């Protein structure tokens, strides 16, 4: 994408647009080559204007959340990466429903619900993504996932230029995946919650955070669990049994706290992480006959 197009995109919307922006600044791994343009439109109108031009000019684009489930390759991404952190930051409680914009962080949503005495979102505490990304990944913890609490979502279908409410029963959710993105861009979601004392909700949140701190490498750059758990066992246990904890490639390292986490211990590249992923998959296949599947999403070019 040349500079003139970036300038044109900048001119048509309010908000932030950065040309040739390293994705390492926008992923929890702290890894990723440059994207031609990174944009955070200020309002929904700005977002729609941006998408409109991308569609008309055949510029590839992708809406992302907090980049906490992404490994962006070192060659970067073509086109525009769009964050809805500013355009979709609405958050409200209506009866026994929480209505949250796609760009709202899960942490903010769960704290808000607790303040209002509404329970149901506590499992999200400590998951570092936002509402849109969490719905796409069907993020979950402690046996509960986003699909379990969703009532419906407001979706924008770019080609058609339309926004519509999609009810929960039209969307498929499975273990760490959903087909919600096939409807278009998630703008907002409604979650079912029930009433409870704020102190009870906060106590549950505290418990979840404490368990997380005991079992996960909190405070390190990572994208959470790298592999999905195969049926009937834990990917972390399989990897640990093969002695991978502490294993390094460049500055990427298998966490010595939780073997299903790869951390960026300095200036790791995506190639370093990919080498570890490939080594783990090969060894697990060879020893247990199990084909591990990535939970993280791998984007961009080498
Ligand atoms: C320390 C750590 C702990 C974690 N713990 C957990 C855990 O316990 N459970 C768990 O499930 N996950 C966990 N994760 C992974 C990750 O946080 C979740 O998958 C999270 O929900 C991803 O949200 P995100 O906003 O970062 O999405 P991103 O990683 O930015 O995006 C994920 C996908 O969603 C798409 N997308 C984002 N927003 C939209 C939108 N508005 N419309 C359409 N598509 C969109 C993106 O294009 C991408 O395909 C953890 C990650 C870290 C770093």
DSSP assignments along 193-212, one per residue: -EE--HHHHHHHHHHHHHHH
% residues pLDDT > 90 (the chain): 94
Confidence of residue 2 (pLDDT cuts 50, 70, 90): confident
The answer on pLDDT for 300 being more than 90 is yes
What's the mean pLDDT when you consider all of the chain?
96
The pLDDT score that the predictor gives to residue 159 is 75
Residue 272's Cβ-side half-sphere holds a number of Cα atoms within 13 Å equal to: 21
- Nearest-atom number in ligand 1 for the CA of 185 is 42
The answer on pLDDT for 64 being more than 80 is yes
Q: What top-level class would CATH report for the domain 91-200?
A: alpha beta
In the structure encoding, which two tokens stand for residue 93, read together? Answer: 């409680």
**Per-residue model confidence as pLDDT tens digits over 142-151:** 999 999 999 9
In the structure encoding, which two tokens stand for residue 293, read together? Answer: 């599947």
Partners of 149 in beta bridges:
none
Residue 49 makes CB contacts below 8 A (sequence gap 6+) with 12, 13, 41
The pLDDT score that the predictor gives to residue 301 is 95
Q: What top-level class would CATH report for the domain 3-83?
A: alpha beta
Terminal CA-to-CA distance of the chain, rounded, Å? Answer: 18
Confidence of residue 256 (pLDDT cuts 50, 70, 90): very high
The number of angstroms, rounded, from the C-alpha of 250 to the middle of its chain's C-alpha atoms is 25
**Per-residue model confidence as pLDDT tens digits over 150-171:** 999 999 998 777 899 999 999 9
Ligand 1 probe mutation, 69, 80, 141, 236, most atoms within 8 A of CB: 69
The domain segmentation of the chain, as residue ranges, is: 3-83, 91-200, 217-299
Residues with CB under 6 A from ligand 1: 28, 62-70, 84, 102, 127-130, 132-134, 136-137, 139-141, 176, 181, 185-186, 222-224, 297
Overall pTM > 0.75: yes
The pLDDT score that the predictor gives to residue 3 is 75
The pLDDT score that the predictor gives to residue 160 is 76
The pLDDT score that the predictor gives to residue 137 is 97
Whose CA is closest to atom 4 on ligand 1?
224
| CA neighbor of 290 nearest in space, from 240, 244, 233 | 233
Section 93-117 average pLDDT: 98
* Assigned CATH for 217-299: 3.90.78.10
The answer on pLDDT for 214 being more than 90 is yes
The answer on pLDDT for 48 being more than 90 is yes
Give, as one character, the DSSP assignment of residue 294.
Answer: B
The pLDDT score that the predictor gives to residue 225 is 98
């Amino acid at each position: 994408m040349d500079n003139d197009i970036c300038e044109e995109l900048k001119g048509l919307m309010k908000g932030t647009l950065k040309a040739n922006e390293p994705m390492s600044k926008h992923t929890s791994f702290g890894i990723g080559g440059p994207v031609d343009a990174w944009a955070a439109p200020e309002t929904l109108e700005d977002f729609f204007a941006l998408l409109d031009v991308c569609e008309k000019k055949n510029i590839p684009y992708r809406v992302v959340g907090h980049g906490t489930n992404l490994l962006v390759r070192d060659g970067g991404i073509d086109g525009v990466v769009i964050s809805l952190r500013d355009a979709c930051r609405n958050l409200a409680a209506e009866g026994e429903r929480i209505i949250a914009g796609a760009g709202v962080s899960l942490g903010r949503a769960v704290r808000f619900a607790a303040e209002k005495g509404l329970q149901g979102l506590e499992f999200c505490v400590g998951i570092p993504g936002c509402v849109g990304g969490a719905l796409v990944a069907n993020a979950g913890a402690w046996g509960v996932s986003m699909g379990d609490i969703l009532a419906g979502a407001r979706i924008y279908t770019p080609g058609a230029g339309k926004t519509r409410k999609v009810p929960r029963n039209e969307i498929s959710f499975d273990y760490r995946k959903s087909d919600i993105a096939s409807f278009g861009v998630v703008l907002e979601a409604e979650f079912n919650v029930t009433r409870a004392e704020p102190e009870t909700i906060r106590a549950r949140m505290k418990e979840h955070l404490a368990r997380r701190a005991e079992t996960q490498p909190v405070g390190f750059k990572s994208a959470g669990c790298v592999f999905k758990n195969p049926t009937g066992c834990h990917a972390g246990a399989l990897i640990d049994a093969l002695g991978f904890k502490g294993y390094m490639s460049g500055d990427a390292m298998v966490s010595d706290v939780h073997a299903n986490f790869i951390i960026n211990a300095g200036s790791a590249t995506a190639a370093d992480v990919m080498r570890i992923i490939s080594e783990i998959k090969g060894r697990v296949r060879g020893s247990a006959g199990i084909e591990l599947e990535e939970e993280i999403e791998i984007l961009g070019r080498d």
